[in-house]
Amino acid sequence: MNALDLLSPIGVTIALLPEVVLTAWIMVVLLVIAWRHERVEDSYLAGWLSLVGVGLAGVAVAVLWLGGAAPAGVPYMVALDGFRYGADAVILLVAASTILLSLRYVDRQRLLAPEYHLLVLLATDGMLFLAGAEDMIVLFLGLELMSVAVYVLAGFDRFRRSSAEAALKYFLIGAFASAFLLYGIALVYGATGETNLVRIGERLASAPLSVLAGLGLGLLLIGFGFKVAAVPFHMWAPDVYDGAPTPIAGFMATGVKTAAFAALVRVLLEAFPTATAVWQPVVAALALTTIILGNTVALAQQSVKRMLAYSSIAHAGYVLVAVWAGTTLGAGAVCFYLFAYSVTTLASFGILASIEHVGSRTVLVDDLEGLYSVRPGAALALSICLLSLLGFPGTLGFIGKWYLIAAAVSEGQYILPVVMVIGTLVSAGYYLPVIMSMTMKPTRSLEAHRQVRFSWAARAAVAVAVAMILVFGVWPTGPLTTALKSAETLGRGTPAVLTGHR
């Protein structure tokens, strides 16, 4: 399956196999739920069907990846490289876990409506497009497909004000961000006459960066900044995560972020590799403020979900440190860290979702007191997740953090890694109290945690995630090699003039 002609219909269809398969499956699910949407079981059915769809898309990604498909010449519209597949794999993993964690959650919280799972699928489809986009237009389409589905999901709990507020806030700010992005695309198009990332890179390489293209780049960065929730574009994140159904908060913190980061890295490395002098300081500043603010504000949070929201902002800052490097190593680190972070964060949100009381959305740190003595498994799993977020050796998070540091240090950058480890230190101040609350404080009442129930689907998702955190934390060779290799293929088909200079 080599040298696909991306201008022929067949070629494009093959190149878009995961997206095509998923879209087709979405139609199937849509038909099924149009016909059956009244009973509780229908919601479960939609969930399981959606899971099958994610699996099929996964198979399609594997086919492309193992088949080694490559574009003939410049990749039009869609990328065919390991970086896309790596990001796709993370996104599909996130989607599958989200569905598994949601199955019982929507039932328990009385959010029953089979469309829930369909929307997750649609968002996933958008993420796949976003991560694979080789053209600004495809990128924007993917972003919108993803965002619109997630707007609806954020407000899915229609009986609660906070959920409606979350949806509206996310929608308004998201639309704002999309406008920035679109304007940026337009300016870059104006400056280069191209929408294809590789072509833009070629055009920009031949002459110094024009003001128009520079402005476009800046607007693009702002747009992406909103989507990955980098400071100062993060304001929406805590409220939205807090108001959205918990598994969706996890989905947003991981899937949306992964897709947006994948697209950001691709845009910067393929379209603007010659403009590092312009975007590196901006990314560095974003990383600094994001790490510092995310971590310090997280310290003040009483609600575990809000704490995780701010911590996810801080983690976006860590990823930006590797984005700053602008190298293959950096892209590999981004890829790996997104994997590590997604697995860990999703598992944490999954555990929280099961701990939540019916009808209530907040879990305070104090609510977790003595969880270990009643539900040792859940307490242990959450502790492991938090330690992984903290970047403790023996967990996936440590390997990821180490990789990020290596990416920055390899470019002679020491300030960002040092700020990053200081941020990590601060983060110990809010991860540890949660662990201490669960293990070291007595249970408030005997009944406190009795009603915590894990459905077996959620249990399986969390168990797999925790196993991954520990196993890959000790033997990370497999994912590390994959991440590095996938980053090496980034921009395959790009003329050597561009890739050779770094």
Residues in touch with another protein (CB under 8 A): 387, 392-394, 398, 402, 405-406, 409-410, 414, 417-418, 421-422, 424-425, 428-429, 432-433, 436, 439-441, 476-477, 480-481, 484
With contact defined as beta carbons under 8 Å apart, do 252 and 98 qualify? no
Tell me which residue has tokens 């998201």: 174
Q: Which one-letter amino acid corresponds to residue 229?
A: A
For the beta carbon of residue 138, count every other beta carbon within 10 angstroms.
23
State the nearest-atom distance from the C-beta of 287 to another protein, in Å. 15
Q: Which is nearer to another protein, 1 or 299 (CB)?
A: 299
> How far apart are the C-alpha atoms of 86 and 62, rounded to whole Å?
10
Q: Which is nearer to another protein, 159 or 414 (CB)?
A: 414
Q: Which is nearer to another protein, 363 or 480 (CB)?
A: 480
Q: Which is nearer to another protein, 59 or 428 (CB)?
A: 428
Q: Which is nearer to another protein, 66 or 418 (CB)?
A: 418
Residues 213, 215, 219: CA angle, nearest 5 degrees: 115
With contact defined as beta carbons under 8 Å apart, do 250 and 176 qualify? no
- Gyration radius from the chain CA atoms: 21
Q: How is residue 443 annotated by DSSP?
A: P
State the nearest-atom distance from the C-beta of 37 to another protein, in Å. 47
Q: Name the packing angle between helices 161-192 and 236-243 (round to 10°).
A: 140
> How far apart are the C-alpha atoms of 371 and 389, rounded to whole Å?
20
Q: Which is nearer to another protein, 163 or 395 (CB)?
A: 395
> How far apart are the C-alpha atoms of 462 and 347, rounded to whole Å?
5
Q: Which is nearer to another protein, 149 or 405 (CB)?
A: 405
Q: Is 334 helix (H, G, I), strand (E, B) or coil?
A: helix
- 298-303: Cβ within 8 A, 24+ apart: 298/427, 298/430, 299/426, 299/429, 299/430, 301/430, 302/364, 302/365, 302/366, 303/242, 303/362, 303/363, 303/364, 303/365
Q: Which is nearer to another protein, 236 or 339 (CB)?
A: 339
State the nearest-atom distance from the C-beta of 405 to another protein, in Å. 5
Token pair, residue 299, equals 């310290």
> How far apart are the C-alpha atoms of 140 and 181, rounded to whole Å?
8
N residues, the chain: 502
Q: Which is nearer to another protein, 385 or 484 (CB)?
A: 484
State the nearest-atom distance from the C-beta of 365 to another protein, in Å. 13
Token pair, residue 338, equals 């997104």
> How far apart are the C-alpha atoms of 400 and 421, rounded to whole Å?
13
Decide: residue 2, CB within 10 A, 0-12 exposed, 13-18 middle, 19+ buried: exposed
List, as one string, the DSSP characters of 351-391. HHHHHSPTT----BGGGGTTHHHH-HHHHHHHHHHHHHHHT
Q: Which is nearer to another protein, 167 or 483 (CB)?
A: 483
Residues 289, 294, 300: CA angle, nearest 5 degrees: 135
> How far apart are the C-alpha atoms of 166 and 275, rounded to whole Å?
37
Give kind and range of the element (H or E) at residue 421: helix 415-439
Q: Which is nearer to another protein, 197 or 379 (CB)?
A: 379
Q: Which is nearer to another protein, 197 or 416 (CB)?
A: 416
State the nearest-atom distance from the C-beta of 115 to another protein, in Å. 43
With contact defined as beta carbons under 8 Å apart, do 113 and 361 qualify? no
